[in-house]
Chain A
Amino acid sequence: MKKTIKEVIIILVISIVAGFTANALSPKGIGLVGDYSERFAIDSASSKTGDKPAQKQRTKEGFIKPVNITVEDAKKFYDEGMLFIDGRDAAEYSQGHIKGAINIPYKEFMALTPEQKAERMKDIPKDRKIVSYCGGGDCEISIDNAYEFARIGYEDVGIYLGGLLEWKAKGYPTN
């Protein structure tokens, strides 16, 4: 066992040194602690003002950051005729979705090139307000999809984290 521990320590030390060196050199390197809380935080700007669009923030990559919205905002935007995009698979979408929502499955969409993505969404003007959603609960593709939309130039993208689950629970329209 002593031999095992000694060898384990040697391998771990080599790995730690190599790992941190590679991370420092890699263009896809990351910070020691990532900020993952932001992913689910509701953007106060949008939820407080409601009728005003949240202050537009740009990401490091340069596109306009999608904002997380509450169910109240989602309903309000829905009534205003904002475009809802369901990011789940076609099969899940066909079993029920927010009324009037279109389906852009994230799994298929993410695999496209930026040109193909733009082509896929060519009928939607870039200044159109979009709300991205998915199943709700543990579902994260609403976020991933929203960032894909923002990346190809959509400037007003909301992420409705509550998703279909919360929408249905509120008794809002589905089909």
Chain B
Amino acid sequence: MKNFISGRFFQIALRLIVGGLFLYASLGKLFNQEAFARAIYNYKFLPDAFINILAIVLPYVEFFSAVFLIFGIFRKGSSFLIGVMLIVFIIALSRAYALGLDISCGCFSLETVSEKSDILSRIIQDILLLAGCALIYFNPGRKKDFSENNITKENQ
């Protein structure tokens, strides 16, 4: 199992899925700051003062993390950042779900999250992505690096 998880193809497939989804999700937001700020506002999750800054920066964090993850550059950093974003998304979505933010009146202008069932399936999707992210970050196969480092240190 460990060999399978750290296997080259499995890791590449994981990176393509997680990175690909994040890349896809970021594209629509890169040049539509206004709509994205409104979407964040509707979550009622953040103080108003932080909404615009997040709307300006977050799509680019998603974009670059995704691109780096796909190409295997800064693998640790990009999978870590995507993991953190997923945890925040899961909390924000769960909160919106629990508060029933959209149920009474369809408050979300974001078309992608408009039904209660949509929010639930997004939470599940994000949890699966987070699991994928963890497998990339904690890739057991890459522990070799550490042991190699240790050996070289010992030799010195």
Contacts and interface: CB of A to CB of B under 8 A. Distances in A.
Interface string B56-81: 11111101110010000010111011
A62 interface: no
Contact of A23 (B33, B80, B81): B33
Which of A16, A23, A36, A88 has the most chain B CB atoms inside 10 A of its CB?
A23
Contact of B52 (A10, A22, A33): A33
Chain B binding surface SS class: helix
Contact of B76 (A3, A22, A105): A3
Which of B30, B52, B81 has the most chain A CB atoms inside 10 A of its CB?
B52
Given A7-B74, A16-B60, A18-B60, 14 more contacts: A7-B77, A8-B77, A11-B61, A11-B65, A15-B57, A22-B60, A28-B34, A30-B52, A34-B41, A36-B41, A87-B105, A88-B106, A105-B106, A138-B105
Interface of A: 3-8, 10-12, 14-16, 18-20, 22-23, 26, 28-37, 87-89, 92, 105-107, 110, 134-135, 137-141, 144
A23 B99 CA distance: 32
Given A36-B41, A138-B99, A141-B107, A19 B60 contact: yes
Interface of B: 30-35, 37, 41-42, 44, 48-49, 51-53, 55-61, 63-65, 68, 74, 76-78, 80-81, 99, 101, 104-107, 109, 114
A127 B63 CA distance: 47
B56 A30 contact: yes
17 contacts: A3-B77, A11-B68, A11-B78, A11-B81, A12-B61, A15-B64, A16-B57, A18-B60, A19-B57, A20-B56, A28-B32, A29-B34, A31-B52, A36-B51, A37-B48, A107-B114, A138-B104
B77 A110 contact: no
B57 to A, nearest CB: 4
A88 B35 CA distance: 21
Given A30-B34, A34-B51, A37-B48, A141 B76 contact: no
